[in-house]
Amino acid sequence: MSQPPFLPFTRPSIDDATIEAVASVLRSGWVTSGPEVRRFEEELEAYLGGERRVRVFAHATGALEEVLRALGIGPGDEVIVPAMTFAATANVVRRVGARVVFADVGLSTRNMDLDHVARLLGPRTRAIMPVHFAGLPVDMDRLYALARSAGVRVVEDAAHAIGARWHGQRIGSFGDVVVFSFHANKNLTSIEGGAVSVSSADTALVERLERLRFHGLCKEPDGSYDIECVASKHNMSDVCASIGRQQLRHLDRWNTLRRNLAAHYFTHLESSPLAPGLPERGDEGHAWHLFSLLVPFAQYGTDRARFHAAMHAQGIGVGTHYPALPDTTLYGVEIPAGDCPNARTIGRQTVTLPLFPAMTVQDVKRVCSTLHSVLRVRTTATA
């Protein structure tokens, strides 16, 4: 019997309507930032609600960096960042000249340990940058209480969290500054892209971000322009915006499918010997961008490289989200060996299982069966 098709750990959902939307933009002759970008920003504002202003960028990394710059964060300042996150979260702090201060994370939530954050706050702290890991919101009430008490800004790295909710409110509909990613592997993709959500009352910040995403230019009604600051170029194209607009129409349905698939992972794994490595389940507000499991590889007589190869040979793609930043060459020199133990444990053991809207319940069952087989885990099969 032939092996089933290869199942990647993620796959974007691109339908014919999206392809036609891109073709329409290409036929229009206007492919860079224009009407599609404006419509995408307006539709994101309507989706988020909460009297917000949204400005889209070519990518979330550039958006995060320019947000820090717009807030005046630079040399001599400190930004508290989770030790378990993608490199961009910390790199942008370094790129503006500020110092990264790593907070440990919860072993099951993978989110910032706010008790650790409270101990790290100091006179040079200018911002806290939480990550809503895998789409599970950080404890927003506690986070913002800490920020208010310390008089610091909050820059939410919501790269995983478009469509996520905290107590019924969409992430990005409230709070300080919130940055989303629309990379190809995200719940909503514009192939490459990102967006910043800020309060509509903060017009100065909105205008500053507009300047920083496009050469520092201030355009005049007669077509001339002034240059107000040194800046780079992070504008989104109309081609990408047209894809994002189509994706936004399906986002809530897709996130519901992700939650359903995640629930089936729990059904198949919570009575397994692998259950201690399951992520926190969360509630209906979880966006389930990723489903990451902790596997103590040595306990099963293997390592992650051999595990990945074995799963791949069985037609299952898996990922690593992420190595702990304190264990990387760049950041390891700054962090003592005993610091951030949870992040380091996760970094050694994390495995990302397939999760995307086009998957089926049978796909989940196949992944779990293959996982148990590769690790030689004895378990009671679940129907």
Catalytic sites, residue numbers:
186
The CA-based diameter of the chain, rounded to the nearest angstrom, is: 73
203-209 contacts at long range (C-beta below 8 A, 24 or more positions apart): 205/70, 205/71, 205/177, 206/53, 206/55, 208/70, 209/55, 209/66, 209/67, 209/70
Q: Give the strand order in the sheet containing 78-82.
A: 52-57, 194-199, 177-181, 153-157, 125-128, 78-82, 99-103
CA distances (Å), origin 96, targets 57, 60, 206, 211? 18, 15, 19, 17
- Which residues have C-beta within 8 Å of that of residue 221, sequence separation ≥ 6? none
Count of positions (residues) in the chain? 383
- HSE-up of residue 332 (Cα within 13 Å, Cβ side): 7
Helix, strand and coil percent figures for the chain, each rounded to 5: 40, 15, 45
Q: Interhelix angle for 304-313 vs 361-375, to 10°?
A: 130
Q: Which residues of 201-219 are buried (b: 16+ CB within 10 A; e: fewer)?
A: eeeebbebbbbbbbbbeee
Q: Which helix (H) or strand (E) segment is 291 a member of?
A: strand 291-294
Q: For tokens 């890991």, name the residue.
A: 133
